[in-house]
Amino acid sequence: MKIERVELHTIDQPLVQPFRTSFGTEINRPCILITVYSGGLIGWGECVAAHNPGYCYETVGTAWHVLEEFLIPAILGQEIAAPTDIPNYFKRVRGHNLAKAGLENSIWDLFAQAQNVPLSHLWQRQRDRVEVGVSIGIQPTIPALLTQVDNYLSQGYRRIKVKIEPGWEIAPLTAIRQQQPDIRLMADANSAFTLADVPLFQQMDELKLLMIEQPLDHDDIFEHSKLQARIYTPICLDESIHSPMHAQAAIELSACRIINMKVARVGGLTHALAIHELCQQANLPMWCGGMLETGVGRAVNLHLATLPNFTLPADISATDRYYHEDIAEPSFTLNAIDSTITVPNAPGLGVEVQLDRVAKYRQRHGVFN
């Protein structure tokens, strides 16, 4: 398919409630929506870079720059034979995976639409509903946290993830455990701890957590292998895994027992599929992470999580957990009966972007052809 035109739209939407992690608080969530045009079809992608380089070094500003100056020129006017060729077009750009993923994924949407199939029919779709949980930000008090947990459990979510940081770990997790002895509970540190905290993690072993996500440095694999050898709770790596090579290193070093797959963090669906394959071979379970996406990115995540090795609940919650009004329809709702979200079935992503809403939240617009 020939890439005739690309548009970028930086939007900024207010979150239903502020999302606080060990790296900062998000009140509004920006993203860059990407539109690609080919042969009368329009593909959509979402670049999940945020305002601040807290989760990773990219921001909406760096992503726009890299897209405009390097990634869009690499594909504009090119005849693309298959979406899996895209990493090759981008190979002269080091890093900037969030920017790459947004653009690559929009081309996957184009190809799925051209074949008139849902995106997940381009790979081994194994299920029509994806088991999901909810990720709860750091709260001002333990009672406030317990209220949030009760609220999400009563909505039907059956796996609870809690953000932690030094000073907000054992006490909040213990409080939840006391009220909910049997729920699937896990913690995400977003790299807030060091190896000096081994005793703290050994204490956490008592809490029967499903896993601890990214306890140590954002670009570390080796020290996680040291921590994993000293605790029973499985470590799940998020921030540290940017490529199939990183996944391989983590597996060989026993740095984790689980991987959080974020398609943005690994630079797009082609690499995500490669990592899925590798983890499946190694018998390493995985699950689909989230980046507070709009309906565009959420649809991609749901399609991705239909792959067979996604065996743990995803961080893909219902639309109303994030936004009052999202830019795509239909919005996603939780199937409370089994804590799942249904995978869209229309061609491509299977959601319709509402251009009037994009215009309402848009801060910057660029057209490249």
| Residues making contact with Mg ion (CB under 5 A) | 188, 213, 238
Q: Answer yes or no whether residue 46 interacts with ligand OSB by CB under 6 A.
A: no
DSSP labels for 106-128?
HHHHHHHHHTTSBGGGGTT---S
Cβ proximity of 43 and 336 under 8 Å: no
Structure tokens at 107: 């081309």
Binding flag, residue 138, ligand OSB (CB under 6 A) = no
Give the burial string for 267-287 (b: 16+ CB within 10 Å, else e).
bbbbbbbbbbebbbeeebbbb
State the catalytic residue, choosing from 2, 163, 226, 360: 163
Q: Is position 350 an interface residue for ligand OSB (rule: CB under 6 A)?
A: no
Please state the φ and ψ torsions of residue 324, each to the nearest 5 degrees. Answer: -70, -40
**Structural contact between residues 332 and 102, judged by C-beta atoms closer than 8 angstroms:** no
Which residue is associated with the tokens 């008090």?
Answer: 141
Q: Which two tokens stand for residue 295?
A: 């309906």
Say whether residue 59 binds ligand OSB (CB under 6 A): no
- Token digits of residue 247: 């996944």
Nearest distance from C-beta of residue 102 to ligand OSB, angstroms: 15
Catalytic residue among 2, 100, 208, 262: 262
CB of 32 to ligand OSB, least distance (A): 15
* 161 has catalytic annotation: no
289, 313, 344, 350: which one binds ligand OSB (CB under 6 A): 289
226 labelled catalytic: no
- The interface partner of residue 55, options being Mg ion, ligand OSB, none and the CB cut-off 5 to 8 Å by kind, is ligand OSB
In three state form, how does the secondary structure of 249-261 look?
A: HHHHCCCCCEEEE
Least Å distance between CB 115 and ligand OSB? 29
Residues 237-256, one symbol each (x = binds ligand OSB by CB under 6 A, - = not), give -x------------------
How far apart CA 26 and CA 32 sit, in angstroms, is 16
| 135 is a site residue for ligand OSB (CB under 6 A) | yes
Q: Give the interface with ligand OSB as residue ranges (CB under 6 A).
A: 55, 135, 188, 190, 238, 289-292, 315, 317
Residues with catalytic function: 163, 262
